[in-house]
Structure 1
Amino acid sequence: MHDIRVIRDDPAAFDAALARRGLEPVSPNILALDAKRREVTTKLQEAQSRRNEASKAIGQAMGQGDTDKAEALKAEVAELKQTMPALEEEDRKLGDELRMTLLSLPNVLDPSVPDGESEDDNVYLREWGEKPEFDFEPQEHADFAPELGMDFETGAKISGARFTFLRGDIARLHRALGQFMLDNNTQEHGFVECNPPLLISEEAGYGTGQLPKFGEDLFRTTDNRLLISTSEMVLGNSFREQLFVETDFPMRLTALTPCFRSEAGAAGRDTRGFIRQHQFEKVEMIVAALPEQAEAELERITAIAEGLLQKLGLHYRVMALCAGDMGSAMMKTYDLEVWLPGQGAYREISSCSNGGTYQPRRMNARYRPEGEKKSEYFHLLNGSGLAVGRTLVAIIENYQQADSSVTVPEVLLPYMGGVTKLVPAA
């Protein structure tokens, strides 16, 4: 959500900022709508004021015995009462149109974000570890994981395409990953563990920016609730319509939840395997920070996500997303891409972002600076720590053996009840 006053004050600068995302100038339409709405609002306020004045004057005229004046005033009040509903309705419609127009616009980018049109223009920052070497041809997980209990056929039979049924030790490894990530975030980095609802209202969907832009990617219930596509949607909205003080910050929340995405905008992509599912699990990190804390907090959550991959012994690289590949609600994002030897490619496993005041403004979530009367908006950051399913894929492909078994990473052994290796079904 954008502050209309900022657009009024410098429309050219606002258009220039959104032009980095490839948008044509939007301020002329917004300012015209804003001017029309303010004109109607002024007329409505004038009508309300005149109605109140005339209503009071009726009593005075009656008290003075001036019935002609009283009748004229009554007629004027009656006419105002007839015309005001139309003004009220026009004011409401214009207000809703202006709000939806502002809600549909993406965030302004941080100046440090590199220019570019697509993921091909993202900027390499660093990498960790080495690509594993095999004395055999490594397989893609979709080709040998079914023998380990990753049952694509049963998932599709029960629920349709892009659903998977996990059985046995691979299901336990999936669970172990989620627990390991949660323990890491809470025990080592001070995050508060949460167990939030999986269904949210439409209003909450607008709050974190999934609506209106990504409505087609969300599953809806018959009573118009939304299944979350990320726990960012619920953890972020936990701050909505609240006023905090400086000493509350930073506030750090984490959760392991199922996530649900219709993938309407990704038709035909990653149809094989466990990479892009309609239902998956993810550990999310959410940080509410003061504006001056936000840059350091973004680096911190990125380092936490990197630390998880390092503990798992997975080679990865860090990319700074360019303007054309940035999520609409974010102002700056780092992607962590893990190496998948079976695919011979890097795949995103975590995004860590600062959304600035974009989401708090939409949720009316504020803080009052010390010694100030006026409240301000804080920054809201998010990061995957990590996507559980994709981490499972990375382990299967990186720790695969020649006999199609998979060695369990040492850091996960305490969660595996003595299981040290996933073995294909006989």
Structure 2
Amino acid sequence: MLDLRFIREHPDLVKEGIRKKREFDALPLVDELLELDRRRRELLAEIETLRAQQKKLAKAVGQAKARGEDAGPLLEKSSELAEYLRGLEAEEKQLSARIQAILPQIPNLPHPSVPEGESEADNVVVKEWGEKPIFDFEPKPHWELAERLGVVDFERGAKVSGSGFPFFLGRGARLVRALENFFLDFHTARGFVEVRPPLLVREPAAFGTGQIPDKEGMMYEVSGGYYLIPTSEVPVTNLHAGEILEADRLPLKYTAYTPNFRVEAGSYGKDVRGLNRLHQFDKVEMVVFSHPDESYDWLERLTRQAEELLERLGLPYRRLLMCTADMGFTQAKKYDLEVWSAGQQKWLEVSSISNMEDYQARRMKTRFREPGGKPRLVHTLNGSGLAFPRVLAALMENYQTPEGDFTLPEALAPYLN
């Protein structure tokens, strides 16, 4: 969430950021918020004055009784004041509730370095690595290879759970396990603490990272007031919710492997074929709690860390700097990494790396304190390191052989016996 004081002091800047993100529904909320805040502060000042009068009246009543005087008129006035004060307090409570309901609906503001754009077409390619494979035969898409080799079974998965829930079999299952271990080993060797988080979270955790209110439609809600996690960012970023960390502990670096669950409502067509878009998929996540002065350095470091994995796998990739309209509600700045898919002849997203600044930390009340200083909000970052399905698709397609099989990069050899 944005700071209410910041919105009050910089309304034009906030509105401009909302326009750049194309979150136009939030624009009238800013004016409503400012009016509610003005009235609430006016009420609070009046309430404070009346409470002081109430104390004086109570003192006068006591003095009148001590002198044996009739305190009736004073008591009547005190009763009228108390009733009026209760009305003001009730109004202030309603205003506060509405303010707290509006604040989460105001998106994070884009960093000045983020290019303004209208759609994904305005994302900027800032880096490209590797050479696209050239074949002396017509390369096949991964779903054809998977079906022929029996490593992924889409049809039986759909029979059991519906489309978007494939079975990985034999070599396919072992490859998933190899990627999990390879990715986790890579991150833990760089000082990241491995976490096995819960796969179910309650609403406050989803609110803390910004899934609610914004992405309710992409999460599976289950009985008992739980949500299946759409990404391990949700439980891991909430790991320090409500805590005050010591500054010398920062940055805190975590990595987690989980299956993830997304409804992906409205997904259809060629872009969801095979492993391109699943309702259940595996991913290794990176989460960093950073000092505010270092968060943009960590954005670059996390991005580079994900890129190194792709380089070790020998997968050609490109880095995109996401424009204001395609970066998401909670992000201040975001990179996407896309790998080349030889069988589909297109780029596939395999990682998003984002700096949320203090937007999530304010929701979760995650702060830090430097010696002798007051608590301040941390900055939170997260990034995929990496998401499995499209990495698997690219591995099968880019390393395919004329016989309809595929080889694998040397980096995975230790994990595949």
Q: Shorter-chain-normalised TM-score: which range?
A: over 0.9
Deviates more, 1:117-126 or 1:92-101: 92-101
CA displacement at 1:97 relative to structure 2: 1.6
Once the two structures are overlaid, the 10-residue window that deviates more, 299-308 or 85-94, is 85-94
SS at match of 1:297: helix
Alignment of 1:241-252 (within 5 A): 241-252=242-253
**Pairing 1:350–2:351 present:** yes
Shift of residue 39 of structure 1? 3.0
- How far off its partner does 1:50 sit? 4.2
- Equivalent position of 2:310 in the other structure: 309
Is residue 331 of structure 1 aligned with residue 332 of structure 2? yes
TM-score (norm 2): 0.93
Which residue does the alignment assign to 1:40?
43
1:47-99, CA deviations, whole angstroms, 9 ceiling, x for partnerless residues?
Answer: 544444444443333222223x2x33443444455555544443233212212
Residues 352-371 of structure 1: pairs in structure 2 closer than 5 A: 352-371=353-372
SS in 2 for 1:264: coil
The aligned runs of 1:2-401 (5 Å cut-off) are 2-24=2-24, 25-26=27-28, 27-67=30-70, 69=71, 71-80=72-81, 82-147=83-148, 148-187=150-189, 189-264=190-265, 266=267, 270-372=271-373, 374-401=374-401
Distance 2:90 2:281 in 1: 44
Q: Deviations over 1:184-239 (max 9, x none)?
A: 0002x110001111112211111111110111111112222221111111111112
Structure 1: which amino acid aligns with 2:390?
Answer: R
Aligned mates of 1:159, 1:73 — CA distance in 2? 73
The amino acid that maps onto 1:155 is G
Letter in 1 for 2:324: A
After superposition, the C-alpha distances for 1:366-395 in whole angstroms (9 at most, x for unaligned) are 1223443x2222211111000012211111
What percentage of residue pairs aligned between the two structures are identical? 43
Tell me, in whole angstroms, the C-alpha distance in 1 between the residues paired with 2:16 and 2:336.
25
> In 2, Cα distance between the equivalents of 1:314 and 1:133?
13
**Which residue number in structure 1 is paired with residue 407 of structure 2?**
407
Report Cα offsets for 1:255-274 as digits up to 9, x if no partner. 00111111125455733211
Shift in Å, 1:281: 1.1
> How far does the alpha carbon of each residue in 1:75-125 deviate from its partner, in whole angstroms, 9 at most, with x for none?
344445555554444323321221221111111111111111111111111
Distance 2:55 2:100 in 1: 30
Letter in 1 for 2:140: Q
Q: Quote the Cα distance in structure 1 between the aligned partners of 2:52 and 2:226.
A: 41
User: Per the alignment, in what secondary structure is the counterpart of residue 222 of structure 2?
Assistant: coil
Q: Tell me, yes or no, if the aligned pair for 1:316 and 1:338 is still in contact at 8 Å.
A: yes
TM-score when scaled to structure 1?
0.91
Q: In 2, are the aligned partners of 1:341 and 1:397 still within 8 Å (CA)? A: yes
2:165 and 2:76 mapped to 1: Cα distance? 68
Q: Structure 2 regions of 5+ residues with no counterpart?
A: none
Q: Aligned pair in 2 of structure 1 residues 77, 340: CA closer, same or farther (>3 Å)?
A: same
**Alpha-carbon distance in 2 for matches of 1:22, 1:157:** 40
Q: Which amino acid aligns with 1:62?
A: K
Q: Which moved more, 1:144-153 or 1:86-95?
A: 86-95
User: What's the secondary structure of 1:238's corresponding residue?
Assistant: helix
Q: Determine if contact 1:217/1:265 at 8 Å carries over to the other structure.
A: no
Deviation at 1:409, TM superposition (A): 2.1
- 1-structure distance, mates of 2:164, 2:366: 36
Q: Provide the C-alpha distance between the structure 2 equivalents of 1:283 and 1:118, rounded to a whole number of angstroms.
A: 28
Aligned position for 1:422: none
Return the letter of the residue paired with 1:157. Answer: K
Paired with 1:159 and 1:76, the residues of 2 have a C-alpha distance of 70
Distance 1:39 1:395, change over 3 A: same
Query: How many aligned residue pairs are there?
Result: 413
Cα separation, 1, equivalents of 2:159 and 2:87: 55
1:305-355 deviation digits (Å, cap 9, x = unpaired)? 011011111111111111111111111111110001111000110011111
Q: CA deviation at 1:138?
A: 1.0
- The answer (yes or no) to whether the contact 2:218–2:264 under 8 Å persists in 1 is yes
The residue type paired with residue 364 of structure 1 is K
Matched to 1:32, the amino acid is E
CA distance in 2, matches of 1:111, 1:334: 15
- 8 Å CA contact 2:23–2:107 kept in 1: the answer is no
